[in-house]
């Protein structure tokens, strides 16, 4: 191949497919696991036949394997995931997100994102005396968010230049993760398409906390992120009077107006002193007994939390810069990845001719 083969891209493509070196060797047939190991270690340059086998097996083009990208460390502490998620499954999810991120980087070479709101600042929690709620309120004020429930969290986050991307993680053991801005690339939040709207909105705000508070990880960061998300979605002064005389029926009604999970409302009521610790324990036990921890009895409808920035990058290239979808796939180095599906493009409507 004309350009230098990047072994890092082979590792990325393989892990994104959920394949081990042995799996890849078995699928390629003409390349042994030992050879693949040496290629990935940078000790051996693959033959043109081996490169073609990698392309055919993994669904990418030669151009993909010559990209100068370097794999970044996994955001192990920057995600909402359960301990049951295996390392290999997590690696597959992160690798897929890296491939998507690289495609967005390619498009940002031609199109610039212009934020409508002030960019999210990096905040030292010590400057707020450790008060996470004050930080959440400060961000709402900076972005001039009206009091009360937020109708569309995604649009507010993206209006600050943060990219939100919905991706099928293939599991319900992880809700989302975020990555800070680096080398001119904006911050990005990946969210699992399989989570319900109320959980999705909380996840977005949880990750927003990581982006503003946690340049460096700390032992309390997940607790702080949950506190931020709760305060950002349900500011104390706006919701506290709604939490008088709590009951399951009231939490159901409040879920519809505040667009957060009943479990989040119950926790907020406890944190604001509207219910006792024993009442909180009672509600949580009953939620579990009724099966409401997984499927709450009230569903949010007509929620429009659809990301637009990444999709608009594709649309701008096609409609304004005269690119075809195949041109973009060629730039990305994709063979099998479906642009329409990944970037959530609408399918063209059929026109009836009579």
Reading the chain (354 residues) residue by residue, the pLDDT tens digits are: 457 999 999 999 999 999 999 999 999 999 999 999 999 999 999 999 999 999 999 999 999 999 998 776 665 444 556 668 888 999 999 999 999 999 999 999 999 999 999 999 999 999 999 999 999 999 999 999 999 999 999 999 999 999 999 999 999 999 999 999 988 899 999 999 999 999 999 999 999 999 999 998 889 999 999 999 999 999 999 999 999 999 999 999 999 999 999 999 999 999 999 999 999 999 999 999 999 998 999 999 888 899 999 999 999 999 999 999 999 999 999 998 899 999 998 765 545 555
Report d(CA 86, CA 267) in Å as an integer.
29
pLDDT at 261 (0 to 100): 97
CATH of domain 7-71: 1.10.260.40
Residues 6+ apart with CB under 8 A from 151: 259
Q: What does each C-alpha distance from 239 to 10, 233, 265, 280 come to in angstroms?
A: 51, 10, 10, 17
Q: What does each C-alpha distance from 175 to 56, 139, 146, 151, 311 come to in angstroms?
A: 32, 23, 27, 20, 21
> Would you state the structure tokens that stand for residue 26, as one six-digit string?
């078995």
Report d(CA 130, CA 293) in Å as an integer.
30
| Extents of the domains making up the chain | 7-71
Give the CA angle between residues 336, 173, 188 to the nearest 5°: 60
Report d(CA 345, CA 272) in Å as an integer.
42
pLDDT at 76 (0 to 100): 44
* Beta carbons of 83 and 36 less than 8 angstroms apart: no
pLDDT at 183 (0 to 100): 83
Q: Which helix (H) or strand (E) holds 37?
A: helix 33-40
Report d(CA 52, CA 64) in Å as an integer.
12
pLDDT at 19 (0 to 100): 97
Report d(CA 130, CA 20) in Å as an integer.
44
Residue 243 DSSP code? G
């Amino acid at each position: 191949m004309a350009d230098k083969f990047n072994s890092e891209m082979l590792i990325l493509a393989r892990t994104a497919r959920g394949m081990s070196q042995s799996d890849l060797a078995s699928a390629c047939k003409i390349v042994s696991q030992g050879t693949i190991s040496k290629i990935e270690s940078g000790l051996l340059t693959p033959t043109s036949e081996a490169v073609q086998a990698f392309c055919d097996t993994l669904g990418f083009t030669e151009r993909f394997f010559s990209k100068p990208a370097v794999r970044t460390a996994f955001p192990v502490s920057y995600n909402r995931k359960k301990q049951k998620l295996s390392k290999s499954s997590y690696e597959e999810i992160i690798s897929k997100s890296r491939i998507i991120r690289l495609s967005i980087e390619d498009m940002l070479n031609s199109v610039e994102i212009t934020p409508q709101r002030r960019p999210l600042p990096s905040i030292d929690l010590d400057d707020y005396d450790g008060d996470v709620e004050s930080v959440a309120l400060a961000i709402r004020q900076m972005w001039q968010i009206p009091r009360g429930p937020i109708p569309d969290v995604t649009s507010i986050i993206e209006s600050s230049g943060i990219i939100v991307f919905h991706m099928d993680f293939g599991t319900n053991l992880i809700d989302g993760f975020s990555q800070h801005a680096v080398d001119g690339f904006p911050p990005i939040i990946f969210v699992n398409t399989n989570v319900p709207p109320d959980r999705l909105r909380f996840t977005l705000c949880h990750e927003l906390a990581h982006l503003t508070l946690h340049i460096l990880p700390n032992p309390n960061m997940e607790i702080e992120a949950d506190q931020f998300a709760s305060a950002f979605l349900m500011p104390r002064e706006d919701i506290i009077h709604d939490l008088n005389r709590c009951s399951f029926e009231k939490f159901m009604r409040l879920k519809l107006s505040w667009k957060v999970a009943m479990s989040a409302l119950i926790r907020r009521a406890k944190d604001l002193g509207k219910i006792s610790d024993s009442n909180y324990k009672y509600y949580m036990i009953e939620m579990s007994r009724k099966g409401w921890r997984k499927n709450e009895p009230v569903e949010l409808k007509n929620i429009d939390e659809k990301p637009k920035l990444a999709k608009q990058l594709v649309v701008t290239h096609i409609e304004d810069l005269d690119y075809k979808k195949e041109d973009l796939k060629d730039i990305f180095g994709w063979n099998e990845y479906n642009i329409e599906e990944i970037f959530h493009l609408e399918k063209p409507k059929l026109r009836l001719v009579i």
